[in-house]
Structure 1
Amino acid sequence: MAHLTREDLIRSSEVDPEYKKAYDARPRHAQGVDIFDHRAKRAAHLEKLRHLYPIPGPIPNEVIETMHDVPTRDGASIRVRVYQPKSGPPDGGSPLIMMYHEGGWCMGDLTDEDLNSRMFARDLGAVCVNVEYRLAPEHVFPIGVNDSWDALKWAIANAENLKVNPRRGIIVCGASAGGNISAVLAVLARDEKLDPPITGQYLCVPALLPAENVPERFKDEYKSRFENVNDPVLGKLEGSGIMEIYQPDEHSPLWDPFNHPDGHKGVAKAYFQVAGLDPLRDEAWLYDRVLRENGVETKFDLYPGYGHMFWTNYPEMERSREFVQDTLKGVKWLLDM
C-alpha cells in the first residue's frame, strides 16, 4: 500500500455521519474531579458497554483463562491474565501475543484487552498474556513500561508451562498508551537482542511522538495534536495533565520511540490502526513513514471520520464491528498466517 498523503489525512477529519449520530446520542463519559475519580468513572462507563462487544464475556468452550502473578524487577508483582486455545496449539505451536491496555498510563485494567485476547486465542490459536502494568500517579515513569518488559520476559521464560512456542512469533499489542508501550518494547527488544525476538508490533491509535520532541523536518506535518481538538473521546490532548501524572523523561526512548538515538532499522514489522479525528493520528502516520524509510514492513488502516477508541466507546456501530475484524486480519498478517 502506498503511504497515505497529507490530503488523505485532511479528508479523514470530516466527521462520519454514523459516528456523529452515535456520540450525539451518548456523549463521552463523565470526567472525574481527580485522576482516581476519573479512573473509576471510565471503568464504569466501559463496563456498561461490554455486552455490545463482539465477544462480550469469557468463552470457556473455546478459550481457557487463568490468572498469574508476575514478579517485577523492584520486588513487587503484577497480575496477568493468560488466554489459551482450549483445542490446544495449532501446527507449529502457539505464538505469543502480549497485550498492553490503553488508559493514558494512569487508567485501565485487564478488562480493556479481554476482547482482543479472547479473539486472538480462539481464532489464531495464540496464547495471549494480558498485562496489568502499574499505573501513575502511584507508579510514575518508567515503572509501567518496565513492568511490561518484565511480563514479556516472564512469558518467554515460562513458555513451556504456558504452552507457547515463542519461535512461532512474538507480537506486542496495544492501543493508545498501550500502543506506545508496544512500540517502545519493539525497539527495546532489538537493542537488548531479545531471543526469541519480537516479530510484530500492533500499534492501535498509538501515542508515539510527544509534541515537544517533533523533529524540524516533520513540524509542518504534525498537525492533528493541535487541530483535532473536538475528538469526542480524547478531546484536547495538550494540557490534559498526562505529563504531570506520568512524569516521563521527555528524551528517554522508553517514552519517545520516534526519536530513538539508534533509529529503527531491525525492529519488528508493524500494523497500525488509526482514526481520522484522533489527535494522535499524525504521529502514527509519521512513524509508519519512518519505519518504512528504515526498511521495516508495515500495514496501515485509516478510519476516516472516526475518533480515538471509537470502537470501544461506540461498539454498536457497524464501523466498530468492522474495526474488530480488521484487527484480527492485521494481527494475522503480523503472524504471517
Structure 2
Amino acid sequence: MSSQSIKSLVITDPGPLDPRWIAYEAEHLTSTAPKKKKSYEGPSAVERQATYAQECRELNARMMAPGARDHHLSQGIVATQRTTTSTKDGATIPIMVYTREEDAGREPDVVLVYFHGGGLWVGEADSEELSCRRLVCGNHAVYSIGYRLMPEYFASVCLSDAYDGFEAVRRWVGAGEGGAGGPGPRIVVVGSSSGGELAALVSQMAPRGCLGGALLRCPVTCDVFSGDGYVPEALRKYHTSGTEAFITSLGGFMRRAVPRDGLARMPIEATQEELRGQPRTWIQVCTNDVLYSDGVCYGIALEEAGVEVKVDVVKGWPHTFWLPVPELERAYEADMAMLEGLKWILGA
C-alpha cells in the first residue's frame, strides 16, 4: 500500500458502529454510555491489575474449553515460563513461551516477541494467550513479555523491561546477527494497543537489520491527548480521530498524568532517518477508535521513510474488541487477518 493510499484512510467521521457490536452491547453491557476517559488510575490500581489478570485467564480458559470454538488452541501447544533480568535494577521479568509439541527439539523458523496491551496499567505475560497461541502456526515460537506496570513503576520501566525481554529472546534463539534473514530465526515484534506502542519502540531501539517484521494491532503511537504538539507537524493534519465522535464503550481519551507517560518520545516522533530501515510492518486499525489515527499516521510515517507497510482497516468496530469479546465472529475474522498479515510480513 503506497503512502498516498494510506493517506486515503484518513477519516474525520468514524461512521456508525457495526450492528453486531451494537447488539452485543445491548445484550451484555450494563451501560452503553461512551467512556469519557480511559485510565486505570486510582487507589485500587494495583488490585485492579490482579483482577484483570484473573479475568483474562478465565476468559482464555472458557474460549479453549472442550466444545468451545478455540478448544484446538489448547491442544498440541506447550506453554512454559522463562525469566530474564532487568538491566535497570536486576528485577525478574517473566516471559511466557508458546511452541508446538511437534516442534520439540527443533529450532524455530520464526520467533514472535509479543507485548500485551492494557495502557501500561494492566496485563501480564499470559493475558493475551489466545492471540499468542493463534500465532503458533508452522514452526513458530511466541515469547510474551511480562513487563512491570504503572502506577507502581514509571513507563520508562515498562519500556526497559520490554526491551530487556526482547534482547533476552534474541540471545536465547541465537539471532544476534540476522532476524531479518541472516543466521538464526526471523524475529517479528507483535503488540496490541499499548503493547503495539512498546513493539514499535523496541523495533526502533533494536539494532538495524535484526528484525524480520512488526505486527501492530490498534497501536498507541503518539500522545495527541496531551496536545497537538506531541504529533509531528507533518502528520498533524492526518491525525483526526482524537475527538468525541470516535469515543466508544471500549475506548476514550487517554488522560495521562504527564505527557507521553514520561517517556522521552512516542513511536510517531521518530525522525525519518530513524524510521528508515525499519522492517516490513503490518498495522491493524479500527475505525471507531480514538486511536485510529495513531495507526494510520504511523503507517504514513513509515511509508514515507521507505518502509513497506500494509494497513488493515476494521470498519465499524471499537478498539481491540477481539480481546474482551473473542467469541464474536468479527473478532475471529480480525485474528485471521492478523495471521494473513504475518504471512505478508514473512513473504509467504
Q: TM-score, normalised by structure 2?
A: 0.83
| Equivalent residues of 1:95, 1:166 under 8 A apart | no
1:167 aligned onto 2:145? no
> Which residue type is aligned with residue 76 of structure 1?
A
**Corresponding residue of 2:298:** 287
**Corresponding residue of 1:237:** 253
CA distance in 1 between counterparts of 2:185 and 2:135 reads 14
1:83 to 98, 118, 121: 98
> Which residue type is aligned with residue 25 of structure 2?
Y
Deviation at 1:264, TM superposition (A): 1.0
1:119 aligned onto 2:134? yes
Runs of 4+ in 1 over 6 A off after TM superposition: 28-32, 89-92
Deviation at 1:7, TM superposition (A): 6.6
After superposition, residues 242-281 of structure 1 pair within 5 angstroms as: 242-244=256-258, 247-249=261-263, 252-253=264-265, 256-261=266-271, 262-281=273-292
1:150 aligned onto 2:164? yes
**Corresponding residue of 2:116:** 101
Structure 1 SS opposite 2:216: strand
> Which residue type is aligned with residue 217 of structure 1?
A
| Equivalent residues of 2:14, 2:288 under 8 A apart | yes
CA distance in 1 between counterparts of 2:260 and 2:151 reads 6
**Corresponding residue of 2:222:** 209
> Which residue type is aligned with residue 269 of structure 2?
N
Structure 2 SS opposite 1:276: strand
After superposition, residues 14-25 of structure 1 pair within 5 angstroms as: 14-25=16-27
What do the CA deviations read for 1:13-65 (whole angstroms, capped 9, x no partner)? 32111111112222289997642344345345444533247536862x42121
Structure 2 SS opposite 1:171: strand
| Equivalent residues of 2:80, 2:96 under 8 A apart | yes
> Which residue type is aligned with residue 331 of structure 2?
S
What do the CA deviations read for 1:275-306 (whole angstroms, capped 9, x no partner)? 01111001211110111111101111101110
Q: TM-score, normalised by structure 1?
A: 0.85
CA distance in 2 between counterparts of 1:306 and 1:111 reads 25
CA 7–207 in structure 1, closer or farther in 2 if over 3 Å, else same:
closer
Deviation at 1:84, TM superposition (A): 1.6
Percentage identity across paired residues of the two chains:
22
CA 44–69 in structure 1, closer or farther in 2 if over 3 Å, else same:
closer
2:52 to 20, 32, 42: 42
What do the CA deviations read for 1:132-184 (whole angstroms, capped 9, x no partner)? 00111111121111111111111121226xxx997331000000010000000
| Equivalent residues of 1:103, 1:177 under 8 A apart | yes
CA distance in 1 between counterparts of 2:100 and 2:141 reads 7
* Residue range with higher mean Cα deviation, 111-120 or 320-329: 111-120
Structure 1 SS opposite 2:93: strand
Structure 2 SS opposite 1:316: coil
CA distance in 2 between counterparts of 1:148 and 1:102 reads 12
Give unmatched runs, 5+ long, in structure 1: none
Give unmatched runs, 5+ long, in structure 2: none
1:188 to 173, 180, 205: 205
> Which residue type is aligned with residue 49 of structure 2?
R
| Equivalent residues of 1:105, 1:177 under 8 A apart | yes
Structure 1 SS opposite 2:306: coil
Deviation at 1:224, TM superposition (A): 0.9
CA distance in 1 between counterparts of 2:13 and 2:112 reads 34
Structure 1 SS opposite 2:151: coil
Structure 2 SS opposite 1:306: strand
| Equivalent residues of 2:78, 2:101 under 8 A apart | yes
Aligned residues: 322
| Equivalent residues of 1:140, 1:245 under 8 A apart | no
**Corresponding residue of 1:13:** 15
RMSD of aligned alpha carbons: 3.0
